[in-house]
Amino acid sequence: MVLSPEVEQRARRVVLENAVAHAGEAQSGPVVARLLATDPTLRPHAADLRSLVSGIVAELRGVPTPELEDRLATLGGPEPERPKVERSESAGFPELPGATRGGVVLRLAPFPSGALHIGNGRMLFLNEYYRTRYDAKLLLVFDDTIGTEEKRVETEFFHLIRGDLELAGLRPDATYYKSDRIPFHYPWARRVIERGGAYVCRCPVETLRENRARGVACPERAQTVSESLEEWDRMLGGTYAPGEAVLRLRTDLADPDPAFRDRVLFRISDLDHPRVGRKYRVWPLLEFSWAVDDIELGVTHVVRGKDLVMEDRMQRYIWDLLGIRGPSFLHWGLLRVREAKVSKSKSYREVRSGAYDGWSDPRTWSLRSLDRRGISMDALRDFTLSFGLSLADIEVPAETLYAENRKRIDASTVRRTFVPDPVRVEVDGYPFDLSEVSLANHPDRPELGRRTVRAGPAFYLPHRDLVELAGTELRLKELINIRLPETIAPPGGTVRATFASRENRRLPRLQWIGATDAVEVDVFGTDGEHRRGLGEGALRDARPREIFQFERYGFVRVDRDVAPGETPLRVVYGHP
């Protein structure tokens, strides 16, 4: 997308203002966060906005502060304070039909096949929103029906999901397991059969699929109620093996949606279940189990994805058949983060094989992985709720979430220097009195203090920047000016530069690390790659889970199990 000239001019004005406030070193992250916070129409275009801002920041790098001030003045000076556009308490969130405060019961229904991920955010935070709004009860009901050979229920996932809810700040009022409730479903099945609403089908799957597509009845559909009850008792009694018989709902074979024609209610399985073993062989499918449990558990409103409208229809059909009034349904559309390639099945395989570093590996995009990266659940909650309860499918760049997180951590996060692909630069003529320098921990927060950093005469600088600036003069940020040689050694090599001057001139600026005080750092990236580099000596005091901003690199979080003084220091990349 091409952003409007008005947006481009405003972005340039805010970048200039930021650069003046930071001695010529504009910070793109806070600029993007400010623009998004004060103009919500830009949120779907956050990636384009970040690209624009980064380009302006690069263009202004090295421009002396007086010239920056002049350019800002031509644009009208610092931008007047704009209020952040906050979401009102009920904007985009309709009332729950017939709801009264204190009289609402909601439910979360995760299938225990893996850790909860960013795609589950709407399930969590929309239900939590309505819970708070109506002082409602929130039930956690594990959808642990038998599953399949390919998608099996495993014990660890119950613990994982409970931990994920705790991480997200959700504490259910009660917890239930479908596997404990199987006997409650059998009497309901009998009632449906007695109303003439179901029959036992023994057609091969291929035959049934063809018949449903053509709207043709299978022979068993003509069963009388008594015949269906006898067949049902045979299913429960072990007469049939898995795949030989299913209980089917009798619906209209001319229904416009072939998928709704005579759907399965119960099937037979001999798989082991991690909680109940082989205690039950006849298992309900989810639609039927919810038709039962939403009534028996007293659920009043179901808030879930629009991909489950078929389940709505099944539940209503069963309730109408039995003369029961069930809860109301509200739906949301898909919210997709463009960079998040979410697949529970893939994550399961890679975690099991050891290719991923557990469920907190950044590639899973699980809640645990976001927390490991330093992305708070409060940021994820506000990001999720900012789209309301919309039926439209929404796809946004990850930058939209990152901007939300930056608003929370930028002001309290200390800065540190990190040099990827370092080259050793020895400076001839280096001033003997500049053995160390005092640097602010944060450019705008003096209350966060300062740290003393060892300097030259030898430094580590990023290879990429050196190649771009070979043969030119540059400034080591807040220190001195040096002239580089024409030829730059590869990462790990050494080059000799020459001291030029001390005064703060209009030159490209580079972060640096004094060679006598470097700390090895391993950055675990969102792509699963480990990138080695060097950090400044102050990182020796880093604590597990502490968040830093590596200047000109991004926010990182020290890994959770790092020991004091461990080398290399292991950090996880959060976001720009």
What's the Cα-to-Cα distance from 81 to each of 14, 35, 78, 272, 346, rounded to whole Å? 11, 12, 9, 62, 47
Q: State the Cα–Cα distance between residues 512 and 505, nearest whole angstrom.
A: 17
Query: What's residue 40's pLDDT?
Result: 67
More confident position, 142 or 12: 142
Query: What's residue 179's pLDDT?
Result: 95
Cis peptide bond prior to 83, omega within 30° of 0: no
Spatial contact of 384 and 335, defined as CB atoms under 8 Å apart = yes
Taking residues 446-451, what's their average pLDDT?
94
Q: What is the pTM of this model?
A: 0.85
Per-domain boundaries in the chain: 5-74, 94-333, 344-412, 413-576
What's the Cα-to-Cα distance from 305 to each of 110, 122, 331, rounded to whole Å? 12, 8, 5
Spatial contact of 494 and 426, defined as CB atoms under 8 Å apart = yes
Spatial contact of 387 and 404, defined as CB atoms under 8 Å apart = no
Query: What's residue 19's pLDDT?
Result: 82
Query: What's residue 532's pLDDT?
Result: 95
Nearest to 328 by CA among 306, 310, 317, 312: 312
Spatial contact of 421 and 363, defined as CB atoms under 8 Å apart = no
Spatial contact of 200 and 248, defined as CB atoms under 8 Å apart = yes
Query: What's residue 78's pLDDT?
Result: 82
Query: What's residue 472's pLDDT?
Result: 95
More confident position, 85 or 513: 513
Confidence of residue 306 (pLDDT cuts 50, 70, 90): very high
Q: SS in 3 state form for 70-86? A: HHHHHCCCCCCCCCCCC
- Per the rule left: phi > 0, alpha: psi between -120 and 50, beta: everything else, 78 is beta
pLDDT at 497 over 80: yes
Taking residues 504-514, what's their average pLDDT?
91
CA dihedral 168, 170, 171, 175 (to 10 degrees): -100
Confidence of residue 456 (pLDDT cuts 50, 70, 90): confident
- What letter represents residue 554's amino acid? G
Confidence of residue 355 (pLDDT cuts 50, 70, 90): very high
What's the Cα-to-Cα distance from 110 to each of 19, 117, 132, rounded to whole Å? 47, 11, 20
Parallel, antiparallel or unpaired: strands 415-416 and 547-550: parallel
For 116, residues 6+ apart whose C-beta sits below 8 A from its C-beta are 110, 124, 160, 161, 164, 165, 168, 366, 367
Enter the DSSP assignment of 452: E
β-partners of residue 483 are 473, 498
pLDDT at 73 over 90: no
β-partners of residue 42 are none
Nearest to 391 by CA among 328, 305, 476, 458: 305
Cis peptide bond prior to 568, omega within 30° of 0: yes
Confidence of residue 76 (pLDDT cuts 50, 70, 90): confident
Confidence of residue 88 (pLDDT cuts 50, 70, 90): very low
- What letter represents residue 266's amino acid? F
- What letter represents residue 69's amino acid? E
pLDDT at 295 over 80: yes
Taking residues 146-160, what's their average pLDDT?
84
Backbone angles phi, psi at 466, to 5 degrees: -65, -40
Sign of the alpha-carbon dihedral angle for 223, 224, 227, 228: positive
More confident position, 21 or 360: 360
Q: State the Cα–Cα distance between residues 24 and 346, nearest whole angstrom.
A: 46
pLDDT at 90 over 70: no
pLDDT more than 70, % of the chain:
97
Query: What's residue 126's pLDDT?
Result: 96
Nearest to 514 by CA among 474, 462, 466, 455: 455
Taking residues 235-254, what's their average pLDDT?
95
Query: What's residue 331's pLDDT?
Result: 94
Does domain 94-333 fall under CATH 3.40.50.620? My reply is yes
Q: State the Cα–Cα distance between residues 398 and 409, nearest whole angstrom.
A: 17
pLDDT at 481 over 50: yes
Query: What's residue 191's pLDDT?
Result: 98
Calculate the average pLDDT of the chain: 91
Spatial contact of 12 and 3, defined as CB atoms under 8 Å apart = no
Query: What's residue 83's pLDDT?
Result: 58
Taking residues 357-361, what's their average pLDDT?
95
- DSSP state letters, 461-486: EEHHHHHHHTTSEEEETTS-EEE--S
Taking residues 70-91, what's their average pLDDT?
66
Q: Give the pLDDT confidence of 95-140 residue by residue, as tens digits.
A: 999 999 999 999 999 999 899 999 999 999 999 999 999 999 999 9
Query: What's residue 341's pLDDT?
Result: 87
CATH numeric code, 413-576: 2.40.240.10
**Among 56-60, 65-69, 247-251, 326-330, where is mean pLDDT lowest?**
65-69
pLDDT at 47 over 90: no
pLDDT at 210 over 60: yes
Taking residues 427-456, what's their average pLDDT?
93
Taking residues 447-451, what's their average pLDDT?
95
Q: Which fold has domain 344-412?
A: Glutamyl-tRNA Synthetase; domain 2 (1.10.1160)
67 SS3 class? helix
> Tokens 């409208």, residue?
309
Spacing of C-alpha 203 from chain mean position: 43
pLDDT more than 90, % of the chain:
72
